[in-house]
Amino acid sequence: MENKAVTETKKYPDKPITLIVPFGVGGGMDLVARLLEKTAPAQLGQPLVILNKPGGTGAIGWNEVVGATPDGYTLGITGIEVLLQPLYGPTKFHYPTALEPLVQISESPMVMAILAEQPWENLDDFIAYAKQHQGKIKFGHSGIGGIGHVAGESFSKATKLNLEQVPFQSAAEAMTNLLGGHIQVAFLTPALANEFVKSGMVRILGVAGEHRLSNPDFANTPTFKEQGLDVVGSSWFGIAAPKGLPIEVKNKLADGFKAMINDPEFQKNIEQLGLQVTYLDPKESAEKWLTDSQRLTRTVQETGIVKKIKEQKK
C-alpha cells in the first residue's frame, strides 16, 4: 500500500489540476487565476482548469476546496476574506485552519481617497475639519466586513472621529460616489484610485500598509503609520490546498507556483492590473495568516464591526 502511494505521488501531476475560484468570472481573483493558467503547463507539468464557484463571499468555493481530497488536484485561490469570514459568524469550516496556504501572490494595502478639490491638503487638515463638522463626513467602501470597511473603521477609531460608513457593492461604485461628491472619503485599493490620482481628480491622504507603495504615482503618499496612526488593512491573493497534502506534492506545487509568479510576463500582467506582486512561500504565508488573523480579530472587535454584523443578523 505504502509503496503504491509513493509511486502515485511521484507521478504527480498526471492529470489537470483544478483551481477553484470562489468568485464570479471577471473579478480580481478570477483574473489572477486566469493569468496563472497561461504558464501552468510549463511550470506544473499539467494545465490548470479554472472552475468558478461563486457565492457567499467565497464560502461556496472554499467549502469545496476544504472538502476535496488533499491529493493536489484541487486547489483554491484565496484572499483576505478567508481570514475575515470566520470572524463574523459560524462558517461551515474554519478556513484559516482547514486550508493550507501554498503561496501568496500579491498584496495591496487600502488607500484613503478624497476629491482633490477638497480643501484638505493632508491628513491633519482632514482630521481638524472632521472634528469640527461631526456627521458631515461619510466614508464609502466595498461592503460591510470587507477589508476597506475594516481599514475605514480602524481609521475612524484611531482618530476618534466616529465617521459614518456607507457600504457599496464594489469599490468601483464607492469611487463613482466619491467622484460625484455623494461621499467625502473612500477606502479602496490603489488600483482603482491610480488613474484619478494621475489626472489630479483625487488625492490620497494615507496608505494602510506597512510600507509606501512601490507605484511611482503613490511614491509621495505617506502611510498611516508614518503619520502616527495604527491603521493597517491590505487585501491579498494567494493559493491554498485542503489540509493534509503529501509533502512531495506540496513542495512540487510550491516550487511550480513560485516559478509562475516569478515569470516576468506574469509580473508585468499583474502590475497592469494595478496589483503589487508580493510573493510569500508556504511557511511565510502560514505565518502571515496567523498574525493577520490575530490582528483582524482584535480590530473587528474593537471597531465594533463584529457587533454591528451580529446585531443585523438577529
Partner 1 sequence: MDVLNLLLQGVSVSIIPSNLLSCTTGVLIGTLVGVLPGIDTVSAIALLLPFSYGMDSTAALIMFAGIYYGSKFGGSTTSILINVPGEAASVVTCLDGYPMGQKGRAGAALAISAIGSFIAGTIGLIGLTLLAPPLAQAALAFGPPEYFSLALVGLILLSKLTGTSTLKSALMAVIGIMLSTIGLDSLSGISRFTFGIDELDRGFDLSILAMGLFGIGEILTAMTHVDAKPNIPSVRFRDLYPTKEEWQRSITPMFRGGIVGFLVGLLPGPAATISSFISYGLEKRYSKHPEEFGHGAIEGVAGPEAANNSAISATMIPLLSLGLPFCGATAILLSGFMIHGITPGPSLITERPELFWGLIASMYIGNVLLLVINLPLIGVFVQLLKTPLNILMPLVAVVTLTGAYSINNSMLDLIWVTFFGILGFLLQRVGFEPSPLIIGLVLGPELERGLTQGLIICNGNIWTFITRPIAATILSLGAIVILYNFFTWFTKFNNKRKELDTNRY
Chain residues binding partner 1 by CB under 8 A are 24-26, 30-31, 34-35, 37-38, 51-57, 59-60, 63, 88, 92, 135, 138, 143-146, 164-170, 172-173, 175-177, 179-183, 194-196, 198-199, 201, 265, 269, 272-274, 309, 312-313
Q: Would you state the cell numbers that stand for residue 20, as one nine-digit string?
A: 477553484
| Cβ proximity of 249 and 9 under 8 Å | yes
Edge to edge, what strands does the sheet with 277-280 contain?
48-52, 17-21, 74-79, 234-242, 99-109, 277-280
Nearer to partner 1 among residue 81 and residue 282 (C-beta): 81
Nearer to partner 1 among residue 110 and residue 280 (C-beta): 110
CB of 190 to partner 1, least distance (A): 12
Nearer to partner 1 among residue 84 and residue 208 (C-beta): 84
Say if residue 16 is preceded by a cis peptide, omega within 30 of 0: no
* Interatomic CA distance for residues 197 and 185, integer angstroms: 14
CB of 26 to partner 1, least distance (A): 4
Nearer to partner 1 among residue 55 and residue 244 (C-beta): 55
Compute CA 91 distance to the chain's CA centroid, rounded to the nearest angstrom.
19
* Interatomic CA distance for residues 182 and 249, integer angstroms: 51
Q: What SS3 state is found at 286?
A: helix
CB of 248 to partner 1, least distance (A): 29
| Cβ proximity of 135 and 94 under 8 Å | no
Nearer to partner 1 among residue 143 and residue 222 (C-beta): 143
CB of 7 to partner 1, least distance (A): 33
CB of 220 to partner 1, least distance (A): 19
